[in-house]
A and B are shown apart, each in its own frame.
Chain A
Amino acid sequence: MSFKGVLPGDSSCPGCLLPVALNLVVSSIGKKVVSVVPASCTSVIQGYYPKTAFDFPTINVPFASAAPVAAGVSYALEIRGIKDVVVFAWAGDGGTADIGMAALSGAAERNDNILYIMYDNEAYMNTGIQRSGATPYKAWTTTTPVIGKREAKKDVAKIMIAHGAKYVATASVGFHQDFIAKIRKASSISGFRFIQLHLPCPVGWRFDSEKTVEVAKLAVETGAWILYEYQDGKLRLTGPSAQLIEESRRKPLEEYLLLQGRFSHLTKEDIEQIKKLIKEQWEWIKKMI
């Protein structure tokens, strides 16, 4: 394995693939990097001052600021004529879909020259598993503790497509080659680029720490999480998702849901409703390709 950006001894939870995903990002960009991290799990896993587990330039910032700070650094480098650095924002779903949305929208609208990666663990995990806009329908969280989330997952990638972003992709930590290819492609383009990375959380989704890759893969293989990239007005399915347009080729959704304690309370009707939401997502994909 090539350069590991996150040094041994970070304080992420056992089984969390966040350091792996970051390693893939910094080793695949192929240039120097500056990363910008808003309040999120990533803020607290770097270790204690004056040490850091992150062996790449990292700016920690408060919520709702990842996109503008990254853009500010990027403008400074442009002014200084520095061209061999990719500035990327690394933000959670709360910092992106909820509190950071206006700032993200501004950066996308201005086509600020940044790579924005939303690592989507589908709730506020750092504060202890509270519901976010990106929490999926019916998922248990500590602020949807009995009934589960009543609303569908907010689709940030779709919102970014609506902004006319240069490059938009979804990815999964379970399919690292697909993720690497997308990081590389996004790094070769200038302007505003957005990748939404599905990143299962063993603690928050209630599964054992050794199952993170399995859960991530099942999300894709059951069609619950769809891998695609969008560029120049065209959407293209990638990785295993390219073979899953026909529903019959997908694994049964229950295999994904039943591995996770956050879905253990689901009724048959709930599962039917989740299937309906996934079907709608695939219908949108079919229209786009």
Chain B
Amino acid sequence: MSTSESRFPVSRPALGAGGATGAWRTKKPIINISLCVYCGLCDVYCPTSSITVLTRERKIEVNYDYCKGCGLCASVCPRKAITMVEE
């Protein structure tokens, strides 16, 4: 019997399973904190789950490791608080 890891085509959850997708980016989102109202729409619509908004704590964080730079966060922001800038 071979080892269990190489017998079954079964995978386990991990960050970066599809690679370090941050490297795909040509533009990056920059947040203007003074405009942000912490509504969380960018959090909902970020396809890479790279933006975390804590509405009650009034906190917003961007993780650039996996952000693909698609610009959806900037386009859905009702306050235009996110700008896409060249890498």
Contact of A47 with B47 in the complex, beta carbons under 8 Å = no
Contacts of B16 in A (CB 8 A): 8-9, 47, 51
The verdict on A8 contacting B15 (CB below 8 Å), with A14-B68, A49-B9 known, is: yes
Contact of A4 with B45 in the complex, beta carbons under 8 Å = no
Contacts of A17 in B (CB 8 A): 45, 47, 72
Please name the residue on chain B nearest to A176 by beta carbon.
B44
> How many chain A residues touch the partner (CB < 8 A)?
37
Contacts of B10 in A (CB 8 A): 50
Please name the residue on chain A nearest to B63 by beta carbon.
A8
A8 to B13, CA, bound (A): 10
Residues of B in contact with A (beta carbons under 8 Å apart): 5, 9-21, 24, 40, 43-50, 52-53, 63, 65-66, 68-72, 74-76, 84
Contacts of A7 in B (CB 8 A): 13-15, 17, 49
Answer yes or no: A211 CB below 8 A from chain B CBs.
yes
Answer yes or no: A257 CB below 8 A from chain B CBs.
no
Please name the residue on chain A nearest to B24 by beta carbon.
A14
Closest 7 CB pairs of A and B: A47-B17, A11-B18, A210-B71, A9-B16, A8-B66, A51-B17, A47-B18
Contacts of B76 in A (CB 8 A): 213
Contact of B18 with A14 in the complex, beta carbons under 8 Å = no
Please name the residue on chain A nearest to B49 by beta carbon.
A4
Please name the residue on chain B nearest to A56 by beta carbon.
B13
Answer yes or no: A253 CB below 8 A from chain B CBs.
no
The verdict on A1 contacting B19 (CB below 8 Å), with A20-B45, A52-B14, A213-B45 known, is: no
Please name the residue on chain A nearest to B84 by beta carbon.
A210
Contact of B72 with A53 in the complex, beta carbons under 8 Å = no
Contacts of B9 in A (CB 8 A): 49
